[in-house]
Chains A and B, each alone.
Chain A
Amino acid sequence: MGINVGYFAKESVINFRRNWVMSLGAVITIYLSLLLVGLSIATGIIIDDVVQSVEDKVTIQIFLKDDAATEDVQALQAQLLADELVDTVDYVSKEEALERFKEDMASSPEIIDTLNDNPLPASLDVSLIDPRTVQEMVDRIKLNELFPKVADRPDNPEDSLKYGQQIVDKLFSFTRMVRYVEIAFVAMLALVSLIFINNTIRLAIYARRKEIGIMRLVGASNGFIRTPFLMEGVLQSMLGAVLAILTVLGVQAALIPRLREALPFLPLGLSTGTLVQISAVLIGASLVIGLAGSGFALRRYLKV
């Protein structure tokens, strides 16, 4: 079959050149749809990482008054730990709180210099198994009878609690909406690419109908007649995929460093492994689109 591979490759390239405007149209639509797929996967992964890191930071901090009884604090800690929503409960002393504050503010030492006393309260940091249950847990803490006893501000216990419910809610609804819009776009573009490939293959079949007739007459096998057209479809979609991969790589190389600079506190970035996975998904998708588009055209327009 050594001759055949060369023959098929030659034929599909010739077809591509013969109908280059249509072929270019097919390549561009596939490129755009795969680019959108690639970018949405990439942003999806980045947003997931960010959400994850925010979720990890969603702890409920219970600020304690300086003269809270140690046994009350320990009893509250034990009760919270027993709750099925709770993962861990850490006691953070006044000194530790100050240390953390100094670390966070390391870039502005003048603020630290103004502190001569330690104004920070000690706290119990409650982290949850599922960050989405934060509101429920907050309500439970408020009902706990030990809570008003140890709270930093007994007159208004609400102020002694700090948690990030709104941030989590907003992130979740935002990412969900973005994902739906992306899926709709990708589905439409995939459909358009299928139609484009279908059309270019139909033109290619039409341009070569005489040859195909003779091939059938002299007994060329169906596979032999079909393969150049399938390869043409795959060639178009692969070209689109390669362009899309290059663009995704370019965009991430250009944007990620700037984003990191602008938002240094967020874990922005894509690992090489993730990029390889995205490329594999795009190549796979292009194979499916190419084979499906040309296969469909062959079924409709090439009776062998």
Chain B
Amino acid sequence: MISMRGVEKFYGTDKPALADVTVEIEQGEFVFLVGHSGSGKSTFIKLLLREILPSKGQIVVAGQDMLKLKNWKVPYLRRNIGCVFQDFKLLPNKTSYENVAFALEVIGKSKHVIRTQVPEVLRLVGLEDKINSYPDELSGGEQQRVSIARAFVNRPPLLLADEPTGNLDPATSLGIMSLLNRINKTGTTVLVATHDREMVDSMRKRVIALENGLVIRDQNRGVYGYGD
């Protein structure tokens, strides 16, 4: 699903944001990407979304070579990647239903598809009774569920989550993580960038640890594993 070989990314000239990263992630895996702020997690995610291009190395996502992918084809790559962020990125003037429907609308799905899929995915994330609520009427956890519903409504083979629990309390975070786990069980590859130690330790999934742009550890059934 994701293949990175010898990937380097320089923003300036001196210090690389990522240095010689080689990672293989298979279809259906659940992977945590851990590291301090500035360790290169965000760069990692941006490279997968092709918001930026690597300075060196090869990246293949969902069968697409990022370096060979034409600019106008990038939107079609992104339809295969669901995205969840720390700040939810919901539109405040749209209800839960409309927020999820918007994602389908703008990629040209028919009204029929929207009407059947949106309620279904909202039921999947447990928000069937908040369909017509606006984001400011929802708790943080509920808002993140809407955002996960939006990322997953198109059934992408890959789901990226950048600090999905960064703004949530531990109990709510647990709910979000089990939801991501459930999505993973449907066969979707899930990559979660986080520095939520307890979460990583309790889930016992594959952990890729970054420090100063280098992969310092990649272990199955791993733990957060920083001494601080």
A210 within 8 A of B: yes
Residue among A1, A211, A213, A225 with max Cβ neighbours from chain B (10 Å): A211
Complex CA gap A151/B94 in Å reads: 94
- Whether the Cβ atoms of A221 and B91 lie closer than 8 Å is no
Residues from chain A with Cβ under 8 Å of B105 in the complex: 3, 7
Interface residues on A, range: 10 to 19
CB neighbors of A among B73-90 (8 A): 75-81, 83, 89
- Whether the Cβ atoms of A222 and B72 lie closer than 8 Å is yes
Nearest-Cβ distance from residue A231 to partner chain B, whole angstroms: 15
A219 within 8 A of B: yes
A94 within 8 A of B: no
A217 within 8 A of B: yes
Complex CA gap A84/B127 in Å reads: 94
Residues from chain A with Cβ under 8 Å of B72 in the complex: 221-222
Complex CA gap A15/B76 in Å reads: 27
Residues from chain B with Cβ under 8 Å of A222 in the complex: 71-72, 75
- Whether the Cβ atoms of B83 and A217 lie closer than 8 Å is yes
Complex CA gap A218/B108 in Å reads: 11
Nearest-Cβ distance from residue A107 to partner chain B, whole angstroms: 73
Residues from chain A with Cβ under 8 Å of B154 in the complex: 218
B110 within 8 A of A: yes
- Whether the Cβ atoms of B108 and A219 lie closer than 8 Å is no
Closest to B81 in A: A219
B106 within 8 A of A: yes
Interface secondary structure of A, over-half rule: helix
A301 within 8 A of B: no
Asked whether A3 and B75 contact (CB < 8 A) given A210-B91, A213-B89, the answer is: no
A253 within 8 A of B: no
Q: Give A1-12 as 1s and 0s: 1 = Cβ < 8 Å from B's Cβ atoms.
A: 101100100000
Residues from chain B with Cβ under 8 Å of A7 in the complex: 105
CB neighbors of B among A192-239 (8 A): 210-211, 213-222, 224-225
B21 within 8 A of A: no
- Whether the Cβ atoms of A218 and B79 lie closer than 8 Å is yes
- Whether the Cβ atoms of A220 and B89 lie closer than 8 Å is no
Residues from chain B with Cβ under 8 Å of A218 in the complex: 78-79, 83, 103, 106-107, 150, 154
Complex partner residue of B75 from A210, A211, A214, A219, CB under 8 angstroms: A219
- Whether the Cβ atoms of A219 and B150 lie closer than 8 Å is no
Residues from chain B with Cβ under 8 Å of A220 in the complex: 75, 106-107
Closest to B150 in A: A218
B102 within 8 A of A: yes
- Whether the Cβ atoms of A210 and B89 lie closer than 8 Å is yes
Asked whether A3 and B91 contact (CB < 8 A) given A218-B78, A218-B150, A219-B77, the answer is: no
Nearest-Cβ distance from residue A252 to partner chain B, whole angstroms: 46
- Whether the Cβ atoms of B89 and A224 lie closer than 8 Å is no
Q: What 10 A-B pairs come out closest when comparing CB atoms?
A: A219-B79, A219-B78, A220-B106, A218-B103, A219-B75, A221-B75, A215-B106, A217-B83, A219-B107, A214-B89
Q: Known pairs A1-B108, A220-B107. 19 more at Cβ < 8 A? A: A3-B108, A211-B102, A214-B91, A215-B106, A216-B75, A217-B49, A218-B79, A218-B103, A218-B150, A219-B77, A219-B80, A219-B81, A219-B107, A220-B75, A221-B76, A221-B107, A222-B71, A222-B75, A225-B106
Residues of B bordering A, CB below 8 Å: 49, 71-72, 75-81, 83, 89, 91, 102-103, 105-108, 110-111, 150, 154
